[in-house]
Amino acid sequence: MSEKAILQVGNNSYEFPLVKGTENEVAINIKTLRGATKGVITLDPGFKNTGSCESAITFLDGEKGILRYRGYSIEQLADNGSFLEVAYALIFGDLPNEAQLEKFHSDIKSKSVVDEDVKKIIDAFPKNAHPMGILSSLTSALVAFNPSSVNVDSEEEMYNAIVKIMGKLPVLVAWAMRKIKGLPLNYGSNSLGYIDNIMKMMFEKPNEEYVINPIIKNALDKLLILHADHEQNCSTSTVRIVGSSHAGLFASVSAGISALWGPLHGGANQAVLEMLEAIRADGGDTKKYMAKAKDKNDTFRLMGFGHRVYKNFDPRAKIIKIAADELLNDLGIDDPILDIARGLEQEALNDPYFVERKLYPNVDFYSGIIYRAMGIPVEMFTVMFALGRLPGWIAQWKEMRSRKEPIGRPRQIYTGENYREFIKLEKR
Ligand code: SDX
């Protein structure tokens, strides 16, 4: 392949260098396009063909259904790693040794107390507030209690901001859930592991000792690993672009939480469960919903299906489907929703509309079934996605800031009115 691209605009042709990644992906570097062509730009709504950055964090191949964090396959990480190990690898580049992991966890624990005044903010929310709105607000509010912005040139300050948010976000996640369930706000215990502590904060009842169920703990650990990063998805791109203005890490993560909330993105896991419940209430008539999903006059989409990048099975969906089976078996739960999900998947995988468009189950299709089996309310599903995605957001923000990337400011093509004179009100 030649090392350059040639673009013909009118009678002029322009050369642009090619950029080749370590997995042989190729991009045309168009940094000089507008200057060289005296104003011509590219246009790509939704950035379906446009790379925003070079990144060394996550590699995915949508055609082959491959996903790797820092070169480690998602399958091996899910089978052998812990969420905290994976978070360390995403943020700092390599899997930690025992001493590094121990120090990381100990530093996180030392920063996991949230200012008591944050509880006053939670009290102000109505009980029916969506926990994603609570989480986004509280994460942004953390800036008020941690005002010093991160000097990214200082490794120590960067590290402190990282362990602070890794310590405090799980508390906010637990408090958001306890708020909507009407439970008193609590703390976990620094004597527990990272996931154990999250479970204690989320699930413990005020009148009984909380006992960790290892089956649920392992399933939650695996789920959070599977959600930990996914290159330049909508919410991660949001964290990067907000951070590119030199807004702080907490503010950037808060923006990412809001972007994740949308039903086309992380909000899909809640939408999937609501869809499956609607199908069940409708007598399990999956064919009716398949028809709705294919009807261009119907805004209904088969939630949990399709993906901007995966045109093959989402490798995470494969792992989660097996984990859902195992967890429900181990817990002795017979959830009819799982059968409806399986039926829907089989129908879609054999339906020309879905096959032609390469629409496969994505990470959100089965995850809600696991969360539900854990006793997590459906409104909390996307909050759990945010908890899992936190290390990825941190890693991507850190990479962007440490590379001193320019502020994100896309161009546009104007299609509005040409110049026209102002007309006084009395003459309009
Ligand atoms: C996540 O980007 C990431 O990495 C995200 C994520 C991560 O880890 O960060 O993987 C997490 O967000 C997973 C996706 C969760 N969203 C859903 O499950 C919502 C349902 N899916 C769709 O809305 C859709 O598939 C998207 C949003 C995921 C992707 O949309 P695209 O890439 O913009 O594709 P498109 O809307 O242009 O669809 C292409 C065609 C269209 O039909 P035609 O115009 O060609 O006739 O496929 C159809 C669409 O109508 N289509 C669907 C469909 N998804 C796409 N039709 C019915 N049901 C669907 N789910």
Contact 188, 409 (CB under 8 A): no
264 CB within 6 A, ligand 1: yes
**pLDDT confidence of 147, banded at 50, 70, 90?**
confident
217 CB within 6 A, ligand 1: no
Q: If DSSP codes are grouped into helix, strand and coil, which group holds residue 195?
A: helix
Give the model confidence (pLDDT) of 352-375 as tens digits. Answer: 999 999 999 999 999 999 999 999
Q: Give the residue, out of 270, 356, 357, 366, with the most ligand 1 atoms within 8 A of its beta carbon, to mutate for a pocket test.
A: 357
Give the model confidence (pLDDT) of 88-99 as tens digits. Answer: 999 999 999 999
**CA pair distance 244, 407, nearest whole angstrom:** 5
**CA pair distance 243, 403, nearest whole angstrom:** 12
| Burial category of 390 from C-beta neighbours within 10 Å (exposed 0-12, middle 13-18, buried 19 and up) | buried
Q: What is the 3-state secondary structure (H, E, C) of 359-372?
A: CCECHHHHHHHHHH
Establish whether 265 is a catalytic residue.
no
User: What number does the ligand 1 atom closest to the CA of 266 have?
Assistant: 12
304 CB within 6 A, ligand 1: yes
**CA pair distance 369, 220, nearest whole angstrom:** 12
Establish whether 307 is a catalytic residue.
yes
Query: How close is the Cα of 47 to the center of ligand 1, in Å?
Result: 14
User: What pLDDT score does 145 carry?
Assistant: 87
CA-closest residue to ligand 1 atom 39: 357
Q: If DSSP codes are grouped into helix, strand and coil, which group holds residue 282?
A: coil
Q: If DSSP codes are grouped into helix, strand and coil, which group holds residue 229?
A: coil
Q: If DSSP codes are grouped into helix, strand and coil, which group holds residue 11?
A: coil
CA-closest residue to ligand 1 atom 23: 264
User: What pLDDT score does 62 carry?
Assistant: 95
Show the tokens assigned to 272: 């999937």
CA-closest residue to ligand 1 atom 18: 304
Place of tokens 């069940």: 280
For the segment 314-323, the average pLDDT, to the nearest whole number, is 95
363 CB within 6 A, ligand 1: yes
**pLDDT confidence of 149, banded at 50, 70, 90?**
confident
User: What number does the ligand 1 atom closest to the CA of 234 have?
Assistant: 2
The b/e string for 321-350 (b: 16+ C-beta within 10 A; e otherwise) is bebbeebbeeeeeeeebbebbeebbeebee
Query: How close is the Cα of 425 to the center of ligand 1, in Å?
Result: 46
CA distances (Å), 82 to each of 61, 87, 95, 314, 384, in order? 24, 9, 10, 21, 16
Among 196, 221, 307, 314, the active-site one is 307
Give the model confidence (pLDDT) of 241-288 as tens digits. Answer: 999 999 999 999 999 999 999 999 999 999 999 999 999 999 998 999
User: What pLDDT score does 304 carry?
Assistant: 95
